[in-house]
Structure 1
Amino acid sequence: MRYQKGKKYILKALPVLLTAAYSCGAAAEGAKLEEVIVTAQKRAERLQDVPLSISAIGGAQLETRGIEGGADMSGLAPNLLVAKSPTNDLISQISIRGAATGQPSILVDPSVGMYIDGVYVAKSQGNLSEMVDLERIEVLRGPQGTLFGRNTLGGAINFITRKPAGVFSGSANLEIGNYGRHVERVSIDLPRMGIASVSFALRNEKQDGWLKNDTGRAFGNKDRQAFRLSANFDISRDLQVDYKYDHTEADEMPSPATMYAPDGGSTLTSGASLTSLGNMYIGYGMTALGNMFLNAASAASTSRPSSFSSDPGREFWQKLKIDGHALTATYQLNPTNTLKYIGSFRKTYYSDQLELDATPQPIGYSRRDTDLRTWSHEFQWIGNTDRLNYVAGYYAFKEDGFTFGPRSFWFGTVNPTNMIVNSGVTTEQKAVYGQLDWKATRDLTLTAGIRRTQEDRGLEASQYITNGYLGPAVMNLVAPVNYMTSFSATTPTLSAVYKLNDNVNVFARMAKGFKSGGWNGESTNPAILRTPYDPEKSQTFEVGMKSSFADGRGTFNATYFHNKITDMQLTMLPPGALSSNIYNAGKATQQGIELEMAWQMADGWRMTGSYGYLDAEFDQYMDTGINPPNVGMLIDTGKNRVMPYAPKHTLNLNVDGRLAKTAWGTLRVIADYTYMSERYLYAANESVTSPIAGSGSFASVSEMPAIGMVNARLLLANIPVGGPGAAEASFWVKNLTDEKKIMNGIDFSIFRTVAWAPPRTYGVSFGYKW
């Protein structure tokens, strides 16, 4: 049934894209699309020539569409989902083609690699902060294990910032909106000083919270600052050195999560819920405890509330501080060979204190303070001959992180459990890689690449049950321990691209990827704590076509992919356990199609669109059976499971059109529509009564509804106000239709909390460029 529904959406979407791509070309006489250059293969290439399923969004579109980082990317490329953590919008849950990681711990690596100017951003904590001076974003779908390495099992997202221009220029922008929003942006290029070109950019954002809370502070506010310094040094004709420094700070309330239902996944099997527990304790004569659960249950709402309550007298926050340094040195040996070094050091401090139950009852809250440091060194040799392009490299990466994690849980128990869960991770990775492109004929290019990775990984863990968060320890649950393990992987790629004619290329690609293994460093079971889980592995085969039409006024690209995942890392709740752990318990198949189109409809009018269809299913999911005849037995529950973070349909349409040219400037309209179909938060059971049902949540309580979002902007550009440049002004609105749907959530077994789509925001922007 779900497959037939998927075919229906495909049939509806295909005519829209194909008709837009191949009709009315004469209307755009004289207007052409700009050429898009990407660096996905470590060299500058035309997007249409790269044998990868890749999307690129350039600087002009980033600005007009209001994209300032990963948080704004969801759905803008086929089969791309960027979700914010249910209780914190500085933590990401990124999925490409269904490959995702939902846990925010620094012990768990993401499935999609994020890079800033070639530097790997290691963890999901803090990686949704806004960026300044972005020039381009590239989204590479499918395993990128050869040129990018570990933790690119699903793909990679590259953020490329702008280099200094070497001439005095810049821009200043002021944005004012509802909820007290104001954003100031300044970007300045200084005149070239000898061998040096320098630019810097600043961003300040403040906004009131949009969901009132009885603490006196509304949740969902923003207080963020960002700074970037970029310097380029032309040491000689052949040697250039680039240095970039970025600084980010945030100090704000968490994103709001509210009580959605007083039941959860375990309610369907055990009957336990906030309501049933409250009545049970009252029946035992424990009236105060029973009323606490009943009062929490009464706060549940299946619609977005206008306000909510939390634990009285308790402070909540999310804080972030990042300092990043990157140094790139490029030396041209000769006209066809270049050596490059990329070195980096990034320091991240992240802290939050969160309300877990979103009620005034002291049922659950948590805190974490994370310090993370990463270092990387990469050496590249890039060259070419008449028929060959090649790149070879050596990569070294090191990380050292620690999280202090007090928490309190009163989930159905007579007394609360106050714990301090500390966990640290160390990683040292080394890799060598190479890739060779051979122009076999005038029209056929073959590519082969391989990477060998060796990784040593350590865990530091300790746990204390205490009288309070910072009180004296009354029990050492897990004494301080340190464990080490090693992983290795070989990730090859093969591809071929054939030029059918001047306008059409077809390609085929095979690639392998892996996500690093690790430790269940928060487990209370010493046996599980000291047993590492293995890397997750994937192999993808994809075929595609890239075409241009109407004399360069349009492009249309299509890809079919088939992906197999083995040793899948699955988050599971063992029988009788209070916390979930990760096991290599699964296999999966992910397949689908990806369509992208860009069309210069007429001079001043451009439309872009993308559509992704994803069919993701488990081939194996080993878990403990919960229904007869398999109660307590280890069985394969895969055929009764749904794939998390894997919407079947993603759609994006964008129109950027010139309405009029006047003496006061050029009036443009930009409209953006993004659609995402239903999706699931967990690898949940489809059926409650199936004999192969296993532990964990159920699809009926894990499903997120489909959602379509509209953003729009009315822009008056090139306003002549005198001076060396021109001004612009715009009116913008996000979530135009004020969608009030849930975007994420947590199933706590006996109740559920959810995060809502932020309400409609709107405002005006004023800018000047010179």
Structure 2
Amino acid sequence: MLRRLKPLLLLSAALAVTPAFAADEAPAAADAADAAEPAGGASSGEIVVTARRRAEDVQDVPVAISVVGGATLEAQGTYNINRLTQLQPTLQFFSTNPRNTFINIRGIGAPFGLTNDGFEQGVGIYIDQVYYNRIAAATLDFVDVEQIEVLRGPQGTLYGKNTTAGAINVTTRAPSFTFEGKAEVSLGNYSFKQAKASVSGPITDTLAARISVSSTDRRGTIYNVATDQWINAQDNIGIRGALLWKPGEDLRITLAGDFNLQDPICCGQIYARVGTTQRALNRQYAALTALFPGYRVPSTDAFDRRTDLDAPLAARNEMGGASLRAEWDVGPGTLTSITAWRYWDWDPSNDRDFTGLPVYTKVNNPTKQNQYTQELRYAYEADRLDFVVGAFAFYQEIRTSGIQETGPAASAWLLAPSSALSRNPAVLNGIVAENDIRLDNLSLAAFGKVNWHVTDQLTISPGIRINYDKKEGLYDSVVIGTASDGTRQLITNDATHPYYNDPWIAAQRGTQSSQFFEPDFSDWNLSYDINLSYKVTEDVLAYATYARSFKTGGINLNGVPSRGDGTPALEVAQIRPEKVDHFEVGLKTQFWNRRATFNLTGYWTEIDDFQASVISNVSGSNVLRGYLANADKVRVRGIEADFTVRPTDRLNAYVSGAFTDHEFRKFVDAPCPPELAGGGTGTPAGPPATPGVNSPANCDVSGQWLPGVSKWAFSWGAEYEIPAAILGRDGDVYLGYDANYRSKFSSNASRSIYTDISGYSIHNFRVGFRTDSFDVFGWIRNAFDQNYFESLAVTPGNTGLISAQLGDPQTWGGTIKFSF
């Protein structure tokens, strides 16, 4: 207990924090970066956002939107989207590595449990108005951010692509025509080191520049006894530069570029627990590990933070790009053009048997991507009518060259003990699968949104979007094994192959076999919405929205089940688009001379053909294989409330909460949870968690929870400051606190008795002293050292092993910031 409380005592733990909705921060419109106020300063209560592609007060926007300013992000140590979830109750983030990352809003946005280049997420991420297709961007550090807007609900009539669940709109600080700069250094436990710097100023009377850098380094929080390393470390660097050319008051051209690199010893999922499946008892985890005398997992308590993963771990994640944005005031509106190129280079090394045994020695999928986007829009504004019309084009090219290789423990681990081959390590040792996976992805769209101010109080806002998507893919897995005569041979489902009936090759074919197919998808869809908003008073806005939205279809690029004749089941290679019906009502209010803000939202979302992980027996095949397909219907509904208050210029506080009711309304061919998997394929199916009985081919999870969503989620905090003079400098001493809570949620594609994650709360404290030019403070995060899982996963093979991704333990340190 003393170990846990010592940092808290050192920091004089107290109650306060900058509010999540950044009521103290400056507008994020172009050229507003110069006006940013320090956290805790006085404010009029107005927050300017660009959620509707023009600058306006957030309280006048009839959309469920939360705003976090740059000063708040810095003060609370929120330097990536994962940490942003602690401030946003309906934002969910799950990541086992940058490629396997999912972001959901209100529980929807991405299918849970399978990684596949052929589908797309339903939460759009935009940084300086550039669409980021790869969700891996979310794992990188924020660099010089002005503010972040989280828009909840479908946004497709204003945003470029796939925003059926919402959008995250990040605005970085713009170049300034006044010379300015800032620097920040943080040190903490686990050898945490973080440095940030930014400088901006004029080059000529019409040209300004800004360059920003960020570096984060932290020792891992899990000790690997097999390699004598601390894993799941952080090793990030980010650089962003921008040039702003203003030849006149009506034209602004911004050229920006960035480079981001992560290269940590990461990412390992460790032993969490073992459950009983329907597999034969001698093929479950305890019996399998007993085949290797002397093997013991380092700890059966995940929070001892010890593992023995024996395959090399790496997660090199490089991303960058350039954009050119031109904004030209033409007549009563603004014409905006955004041209961008981005690349992503992913080079991983994983341990996918999740043990210290050499079952799989390599399971790596290096990926390279290039994407190109072009958006052109015109925003018109007048007394009674304003609108945005535009066009968007997107092209993406992904090339993945994967490899999977088995090791000397594979025969005993993967083959039935009744087979003599299971006792020969050479049978499955050295099976190599080389995977060539390709995707060419084209999307074209035209969109428009009109705001008709019928009266000074009533506004009617219809929107429309027409979208064309085309995907062309290739999946080519060439699997080579060793035949019984010692020769290297193709492992194939082609019965005419001369080694098809070789006993070793036959055994290997049950593990993995070559497969080739070229899926494609193309479709048009029409999205539309209508929004009614009414100004009850100057500070009270009521609104209602209906939206019909689509998330583009996809293709399976991780392999599909094989038919009995060995050919791929191409009928499941395509994934149909999601069709979303969304209803929302909201109330935005300010009172007490705008010192208090209270916003309330209720919504009801139904999705047909929800894209999800499924498992199915293809006719004529005895092989079960997971892939992406469509659940019939999903429903998510809920209530969200946000409250901020500033009773004095020295105190501010906030609380946000969300109730989310979520379920699969109809999903009859879902993957079964582990307690109903791994057994025989006959009928009838046996009781759950009973070894050696038959398992259902798939499971009906209609009425069950969606994965990753808590019914209740809250965030809250406060900040208090008092005038003080230290070392002859006048400033403010401040005390800060922020916290969040989420209730129990499921961490498996189909809810399992082994993968529910209990509710937990995280509490953060800080205390410091700031002036106009510097800020020094100490901080402690997860102050009470709460042990919690970020995710639990069923490992391959139905052995009962459940792996875990752990949340950060208690961390503490100090930060000093200078600005000029």
Supply the distance in 2 between the matched residues of 1:512 and 1:300 (Cα, whole angstroms). 50
Partner-residue secondary structure (3-state), 2:135: coil
Contact 1:258–1:357 (CA<8 Å) still a contact in 2? no
Say whether 1:500 aligns with 2:536.
yes
Which residue in 2 is equivalent to 1:733? 780
211-220 vs 408-417, which deviates more? 408-417
Which residue in 2 is equivalent to 1:275? 285
Say whether 1:764 aligns with 2:814.
yes
Say whether 1:715 aligns with 2:771.
no
Which residue in 1 is equivalent to 2:388? 391
640-649 vs 459-468, which deviates more? 459-468
Say whether 1:600 aligns with 2:614.
no
Q: CA deviation at 1:493?
A: 0.8
Supply the distance in 2 between the matched residues of 1:503 and 1:296 (Cα, whole angstroms). 67
Which residue in 1 is equivalent to 2:351? 355
Superimposed CA distance per residue, residues 464-510 of structure 1 (whole angstroms, 9 cap, x where no aligned partner): 21359xx9773364465433320221110101111111221110011
- Relative to 1, partners in 2 of residues 1:237 and 1:707: Cα closer, same or farther, differing over 3 Å? same
Q: 2:611 aligns with which of 550, 563, 569?
A: 569
Supply the distance in 2 between the matched residues of 1:376 and 1:561 (Cα, whole angstroms). 32
471-480 vs 669-678, which deviates more? 471-480
Supply the distance in 2 between the matched residues of 1:632 and 1:178 (Cα, whole angstroms). 48
Contact 2:160–2:392 (CA<8 Å) still a contact in 1? no
Which residue in 1 is equivalent to 2:712? 649
Which residue in 2 is equivalent to 1:406? 403
Partner-residue secondary structure (3-state), 1:144: coil
Supply the distance in 2 between the matched residues of 1:766 and 1:511 (Cα, whole angstroms). 46
Supply the distance in 1 between the matched residues of 2:793 and 2:259 (Cα, whole angstroms). 31
Contact 2:232–2:266 (CA<8 Å) still a contact in 1? yes
Which residue in 2 is equivalent to 1:552? 594
Supply the distance in 1 between the matched residues of 2:203 and 2:519 (Cα, whole angstroms). 52
| TM-score, length-scaled by structure 1 | 0.87
Contact 1:449–1:492 (CA<8 Å) still a contact in 2? yes
Aligned counterparts, 1:366-381, within 5 A: 366-381=363-378
Supply the distance in 1 between the matched residues of 2:282 and 2:90 (Cα, whole angstroms). 36
Superimposed CA distance per residue, residues 413-470 of structure 1 (whole angstroms, 9 cap, x where no aligned partner): 34365423331211111000001000111211110000000011111211021359xx
Which residue in 2 is equivalent to 1:346? 342
Q: CA deviation at 1:726?
A: 2.2
Identity %: 24
> Aligned AA for 1:562?
W
Which residue in 1 is equivalent to 2:691? none
- Relative to 1, partners in 2 of residues 1:316 and 1:73: Cα closer, same or farther, differing over 3 Å? same
Contact 1:704–1:744 (CA<8 Å) still a contact in 2? yes
> Aligned AA for 2:350?
L
Q: 1:589 aligns with which of 616, 635, 659?
A: 635
- Relative to 1, partners in 2 of residues 1:90 and 1:485: Cα closer, same or farther, differing over 3 Å? closer
Superimposed CA distance per residue, residues 303-346 of structure 1 (whole angstroms, 9 cap, x where no aligned partner): 412422121xx421110111111111011112x12111011100
- Relative to 1, partners in 2 of residues 1:533 and 1:216: Cα closer, same or farther, differing over 3 Å? same
Superimposed CA distance per residue, residues 105-164 of structure 1 (whole angstroms, 9 cap, x where no aligned partner): 322311211111111111223431002110010101111121125321211111111101
> Aligned AA for 2:755?
S
- Relative to 1, partners in 2 of residues 1:150 and 1:453: Cα closer, same or farther, differing over 3 Å? same
Contact 1:569–1:586 (CA<8 Å) still a contact in 2? no
Contact 2:123–2:167 (CA<8 Å) still a contact in 1? yes
Supply the distance in 2 between the matched residues of 1:108 and 1:737 (Cα, whole angstroms). 39
Contact 1:570–1:586 (CA<8 Å) still a contact in 2? no
Supply the distance in 1 between the matched residues of 2:175 and 2:224 (Cα, whole angstroms). 45
Partner-residue secondary structure (3-state), 2:574: coil
Aligned counterparts, 1:509-548, within 5 A: 509-524=545-560, 525=562, 526-528=568-570, 531-548=573-590
Which residue in 1 is equivalent to 2:31? none
Q: CA deviation at 1:191?
A: 2.8
Which residue in 2 is equivalent to 1:754? 804
Contact 1:373–1:399 (CA<8 Å) still a contact in 2? yes
Which residue in 1 is equivalent to 2:171? 160
Which residue in 1 is equivalent to 2:792? 745
Which residue in 2 is equivalent to 1:235? 247
Say whether 1:94 aligns with 2:103.
yes
Supply the distance in 2 between the matched residues of 1:315 and 1:76 (Cα, whole angstroms). 35
Partner-residue secondary structure (3-state), 1:623: coil
Which residue in 2 is equivalent to 1:672? 738
Which residue in 1 is equivalent to 2:15? none
Contact 1:328–1:341 (CA<8 Å) still a contact in 2? yes
Q: CA deviation at 1:241?
A: 0.4
- Relative to 1, partners in 2 of residues 1:359 and 1:111: Cα closer, same or farther, differing over 3 Å? same
Supply the distance in 2 between the matched residues of 1:556 and 1:349 (Cα, whole angstroms). 43
> Aligned AA for 1:730?
F
Supply the distance in 2 between the matched residues of 1:454 and 1:370 (Cα, whole angstroms). 26
Which residue in 2 is equivalent to 1:305? 304
Supply the distance in 2 between the matched residues of 1:632 and 1:701 (Cα, whole angstroms). 17
Partner-residue secondary structure (3-state), 2:702: helix
Partner-residue secondary structure (3-state), 2:792: strand
> Aligned AA for 2:477?
Q
Supply the distance in 1 between the matched residues of 2:636 and 2:157 (Cα, whole angstroms). 20
Contact 1:143–1:539 (CA<8 Å) still a contact in 2? no
> Aligned AA for 2:700?
T
Contact 1:182–1:207 (CA<8 Å) still a contact in 2? yes
Partner-residue secondary structure (3-state), 1:62: helix
Q: 1:457 aligns with which of 462, 471, 487?
A: 471
> Aligned AA for 1:309?
D
Superimposed CA distance per residue, residues 262-308 of structure 1 (whole angstroms, 9 cap, x where no aligned partner): 336xx057657533652xxxxxxxxxx8523x866755624412422
Supply the distance in 2 between the matched residues of 1:271 and 1:548 (Cα, whole angstroms). 63
- Relative to 1, partners in 2 of residues 1:263 and 1:340: Cα closer, same or farther, differing over 3 Å? same
Contact 1:642–1:699 (CA<8 Å) still a contact in 2? no
> Aligned AA for 1:561?
Y
Which residue in 1 is equivalent to 2:450? 436
| TM-score, length-scaled by structure 2 | 0.81
Supply the distance in 1 between the matched residues of 2:709 and 2:549 (Cα, whole angstroms). 19
Partner-residue secondary structure (3-state), 2:59: helix
Supply the distance in 1 between the matched residues of 2:764 and 2:267 (Cα, whole angstroms). 21
Q: CA deviation at 1:361?
A: 0.6
Contact 1:153–1:513 (CA<8 Å) still a contact in 2? yes
Contact 2:302–2:804 (CA<8 Å) still a contact in 1? no
- Relative to 1, partners in 2 of residues 1:479 and 1:628: Cα closer, same or farther, differing over 3 Å? closer
| CA RMSD between the two structures | 2.6
Unaligned runs of 5+ in 2: 1-20, 22-40, 416-421, 423-427, 493-512, 563-567, 677-682, 687-693
Q: CA deviation at 1:33?
A: 4.5
- Relative to 1, partners in 2 of residues 1:138 and 1:295: Cα closer, same or farther, differing over 3 Å? farther
Contact 2:208–2:243 (CA<8 Å) still a contact in 1? yes
Partner-residue secondary structure (3-state), 1:355: coil
Q: 2:116 aligns with which of 105, 110, 115?
A: 105
Supply the distance in 2 between the matched residues of 1:300 and 1:418 (Cα, whole angstroms). 31
Partner-residue secondary structure (3-state), 1:143: coil
Contact 2:668–2:702 (CA<8 Å) still a contact in 1? no
Contact 1:570–1:583 (CA<8 Å) still a contact in 2? yes
Supply the distance in 1 between the matched residues of 2:67 and 2:93 (Cα, whole angstroms). 16
Partner-residue secondary structure (3-state), 1:580: strand
